[in-house]
Amino acid sequence: MREKLEQIRSEALRPLADAGTDLEEIRVRFLGKKGELTNVLRSMGQLSPEERPKIGQLANEVRQSIEDAIKARTEAAKGRALDLKLKAEKLDVTMPGKTPEVGHLHPLERVQREMEEIFIGMGFSIAEGPDVEYDYYNFQALNIPEGHPARDTQDTFYISDSVLLRSQTSPVQVRVMEKQKPPIRIISPGRVYRSDELDATHSPLFRQMEGLVVDKGITMGDLKGMLETFAKRMFGSSTRIRFRPHHFPFTEPSAEVDVSCFVCGGCGCRVCKGEGWIEILGAGMVHPFVLRNCGIDPEIYSGFAFGMGIERVTMTRYGIDDIRLFTDNDVRFLNQF
Ligand code: DAH
């Protein structure tokens, strides 16, 4: 029986030296309920009482050595599996990553926000009005009655006889004055629409920014000072402004305002077409008729208003010569800002 046990030990341990062996098969074959070692233990009854404990001890040693070997193999297999897993999942953290491309604001949006910042810095707040507007606000309340020739230059898209796409941001002046009593100090940026053919300087859709200040004792001097401050902040501190007499139905007196060319400083170049000046806005003192229309007494209050094209300001600022570039969506153009 002693030999039998030693034979079991060596037969069990031999295959265990080989990494490819099925450990469970070995366990069942030698240590299982019907295993070889168990069979030997079952026949222990035939032994003499002196022999029994010795053989018993040997059998336990054999069992222990097989169990130890199986355990060692199991641990080794686990370690190998972990090694393989770690190798397969290896991550090189020093490899350069893929940087996602980050876009930026459209030049028009950027300039609009800069303009807003400048006016907010001078105490203005932002007012908004609808793109789809009543004829009353877009024209009539601004002293442009039906049949008035000023309507021709602002031909627009009509939804019905009395509703249209606003051709200017000036109707927001009326909407604000109807609701709010002086002092008023607002700007109103937004889209405007005109049935113009698209070319280098015209577009059926563009942006304007309206400004309105109404209070006691507001003069044209306030308008000039405020616009000069705006021009210097927007186009550079050496910028000068020039008022040219003009006519708008909703202001009296009215003016068109130019800024000195930021490229040549006023001596004339390609950008300002030899003029030295670039027109950027219309302005004037709010017409008493408009004030009265909105329930504000022109004997007590006065105000100034201005309106400028945001595309025009952006083109002037960056020397862009074609308004269509803003909507072409060509990244070679947009990436430059
Ligand atoms: N609404 C005018 C236009 O689109 C611009 C304008 C001129 C606005 C004079 C004003 C202003 O507020 O006072 O041509």
Residue range 277-321, pLDDT digits in tens: 999 999 999 999 999 999 999 999 999 999 999 999 999 999 898
Residue of the CA atom closest to atom 12 of ligand 1: 306
Q: Which helix (H) or strand (E) holds 247?
A: strand 241-248
Phi, psi at 101, each rounded to 5°: -75, 125
CA 284 from chain centre, in angstroms, equals: 37
Asked whether the predicted pLDDT for residue 189 surpasses 90, the reply is yes
The more confidently predicted of residues 269 and 282 is 282
CA 135 from chain centre, in angstroms, equals: 36
* Sheet order of strands, 302-309 included: 125-126, 184-193, 205-215, 302-309, 277-286, 251-260, 241-248
Which of 24, 32, 26 is closest to 12 using CA atoms?
26
Strand partners, 214: 184, 303
CA distance to 28, 36, 232, per residue, from 24 (Å): 6, 14, 88
Task: State the architecture of 107-334 in CATH terms.
Answer: 2-Layer Sandwich (3.30)
Q: Which helix (H) or strand (E) holds 285?
A: strand 277-286
Q: How far apart are CA 253 and CA 305, in angstroms?
A: 11
Q: Which whole number is the average pLDDT over 158-187?
A: 97
Ligand 1 centroid distance, CA of 170 (Å):
6
SS3 assignment for 75-130: HHHHHHHHHHHHHHCCCCCCCCCCCCCCCCCCHHHHHHHHHHHHHHHCCCEECCCC
pLDDT of res. 37: 80
CA 302 from chain centre, in angstroms, equals: 41
Q: Which of 168, 192, 254, 256 to mutate to test the pocket of ligand 1 (most atoms within 8 A of CB)?
A: 168
Q: How far apart are CA 220 and CA 303, in angstroms?
A: 9
Q: What is the pairing mode between strands 163-165 and 132-134?
A: antiparallel
Phi, psi at 106, each rounded to 5°: -65, 140
Q: What is the DSSP letter of 307?
A: E
| pLDDT, tens digit, 9 for 90 and up, residues 105-160 | 999 999 999 999 999 999 999 999 999 999 999 999 999 999 999 999 999 999 99
Ligand 1 centroid distance, CA of 238 (Å):
26
pLDDT of res. 105: 95
Ligand 1 centroid distance, CA of 202 (Å):
17
Residues 6+ apart with CB under 8 A from 34: none
Ligand 1 atom closest to the Cα of residue 309 is 4
Q: Where are the domains of the chain?
A: 2-88, 107-334
Residue of the CA atom closest to atom 2 of ligand 1: 307
Spell out which residues line ligand 1, taking CB within 6 angstroms.
168, 170, 210, 248, 251, 282-284, 305-307
User: What ranges in the chain are assigned the alpha helix state H?
Assistant: 2-16, 23-26, 36-42, 51-88, 107-121, 135-138, 171-179, 220-235, 288-293, 310-318, 325-328, 331-334
Of 83-87, 122-126, 243-247, which gets the smallest average pLDDT? 83-87
Ligand 1 atom closest to the Cα of residue 153 is 14
